[in-house]
């Protein structure tokens, strides 16, 4: 009996700690909604900002986020895909494999602000791209490498050996097997990997502060600055002390941002639960 009692006391105690651990999530969401809901409107998502953002919407940021992500994926995906194919299908030496994997693993641990410093120094300053869409997307594409490469690698590994063997038996070379058999089998997993990377990168702010200038319009060239949802939040919060209404707009932007990221993450989770878990940690 005493043990039972102890168990239920422990259960209640630990349960309340768990609730305590989850509760900030509720506070965060309710604060955002409380401050931002009255600014959420069709006008917000469909018009360009006017008067330093005090009037008008954040269409520039919404479009900018999508453009930036699209360009970054276009740079990063081919590189990661080719690298992952080489790693899983052609590289035999286990030691080199481990070295490459740990280098990518270490890259995953680099703080985002350090990517920002690197991006600023190399792309903005040395290459002279300035604060631009190009500098920002190059920087983000580097940040995507670890997630994208690892997910693609994991999916390629999951393709059953027998399928490859049957291709070889039909006289296909390694190259042909990799491109027309393995890649096709792994296609859904590759999509998951890309979505996972997008979900992570949508929320990045620090590297953008140092690489993208702000832009009240959608950029017309790669060398123009670009606004994103996160960067708009940063801008509005920085200006928020002078113009309190911008804090409300920052909250509304935050609601949009969270909704988009959650949507992407849910699709990812739906596509592959296992893959998502291995990468998150």
Rounded distance, CA 138 to CA 115, Å?
10
- Quick one: 77 or 220, whose CB is closer to another protein? 77
Tokens of 51: 């008067």
Rounded distance, CA 124 to CA 122, Å?
6
Which residues between 129 and 148 bind another protein (CB under 8 A)? 142, 145
Name the burial class of residue 148, with classes exposed (0-12), middle (13-18) and buried (19+) by CB atoms within 10 angstroms of its CB.
buried
Element (H, E) at 204: none
Q: Is 158 in the site for another protein (CB under 8 A)?
A: no
Q: Is 199 in the site for another protein (CB under 8 A)?
A: yes
CB 190 within 8 A of CB 153: no
Q: Is 267 in the site for another protein (CB under 8 A)?
A: no
Binder to another protein among 45, 75, 223, 261 (CB under 8 A)?
A: 261
Q: Is 202 in the site for another protein (CB under 8 A)?
A: yes
- Quick one: 134 or 208, whose CB is closer to another protein? 208
Q: Is 169 in the site for another protein (CB under 8 A)?
A: no
Tokens 């494999």, residue located: 97
Whole-number minimum distance, CB 171 to another protein, in Å? 11
Where does this chain touch another protein (CB under 8 A) — which range of 48-56, 155-163, 217-225, 262-270? 262-270
CB 187 within 8 A of CB 152: no
- Quick one: 51 or 171, whose CB is closer to another protein? 171
Q: Can you say whether residue 52 is alpha, beta or left, with left for phi > 0 and alpha for psi between -120 and 50 degrees?
A: left
DSSP output for 105-173? HHHHTS-HHHHHHHHIIIIIIIS---SSHHHHHHHHHHHHHHHHHHHHHHHHHHS-HHHHHHHHHTT--
Q: Is 109 in the site for another protein (CB under 8 A)?
A: yes
Instruction: State the binding string over 207-226 for another protein (x if CB under 8 A, else -).
Output: --xx----------------
Whole-number minimum distance, CB 216 to another protein, in Å? 19
Rounded distance, CA 53 to CA 13, Å?
48
CB 127 within 8 A of CB 158: no
Q: Is 230 in the site for another protein (CB under 8 A)?
A: yes
Binder to another protein among 55, 173, 184, 245 (CB under 8 A)?
A: 173
Instruction: State the binding string over 10-49 for another protein (x if CB under 8 A, else -).
Output: xx--xx-xx-xxx-xx-xx--xx--x--------------
Q: How many residues bind another protein (CB under 8 A)?
A: 84
Q: Is 187 in the site for another protein (CB under 8 A)?
A: no
Whole-number minimum distance, CB 225 to another protein, in Å? 13
Whole-number minimum distance, CB 85 to another protein, in Å? 6
Whole-number minimum distance, CB 202 to another protein, in Å? 7
DSSP output for 53-72? GTEE--HHHHHHHHHHHHHH
Q: Is 242 in the site for another protein (CB under 8 A)?
A: no
Whole-number minimum distance, CB 86 to another protein, in Å? 4
């Amino acid at each position: 009996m005493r043990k039972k009692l102890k168990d239920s006391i422990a259960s209640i105690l630990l349960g309340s700690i768990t609730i305590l651990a989850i509760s900030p999530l509720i506070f965060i969401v309710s604060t955002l909604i409380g401050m931002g809901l009255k600014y959420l409107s069709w006008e917000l998502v469909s018009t360009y900002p006017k008067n330093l953002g005090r009037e008008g919407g954040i269409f520039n940021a919404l479009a900018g986020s999508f453009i930036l992500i699209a360009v970054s994926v276009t740079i990063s995906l081919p590189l990661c895909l080719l690298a992952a194919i080489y790693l899983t299908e052609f590289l035999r030496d286990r030691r080199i494999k481990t070295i490459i994997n740990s280098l990518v693993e270490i890259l995953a641990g680099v703080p985002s602000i350090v990517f920002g410093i690197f991006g600023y120094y190399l792309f903005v300053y040395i290459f002279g791209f300035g604060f631009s869409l190009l500098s920002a997307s190059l920087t983000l594409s580097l940040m995507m490498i670890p997630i994208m490469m690892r997910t693609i690698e994991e999916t390629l590994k999951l393709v059953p050996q027998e399928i490859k063997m049957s291709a070889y038996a039909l006289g296909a070379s390694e190259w042909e097997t990799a491109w027309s058999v393995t890649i096709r089998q792994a296609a859904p997993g590759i999509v998951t990997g890309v979505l996972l990377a997008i979900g992570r990168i949508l929320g990045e702010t620090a590297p953008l502060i140092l690489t993208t200038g702000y832009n009240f319009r959608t950029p017309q060239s790669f060398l123009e600055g670009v606004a994103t949802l996160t960067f708009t939040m940063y801008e509005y919060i920085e200006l928020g002390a002078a113009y309190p209404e911008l804090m409300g707009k920052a909250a509304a932007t935050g609601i949009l941002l969270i909704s988009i990221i959650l949507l992407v993450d849910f699709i990812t989770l739906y596509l592959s639960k296992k893959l998502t878990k291995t990468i998150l940690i």
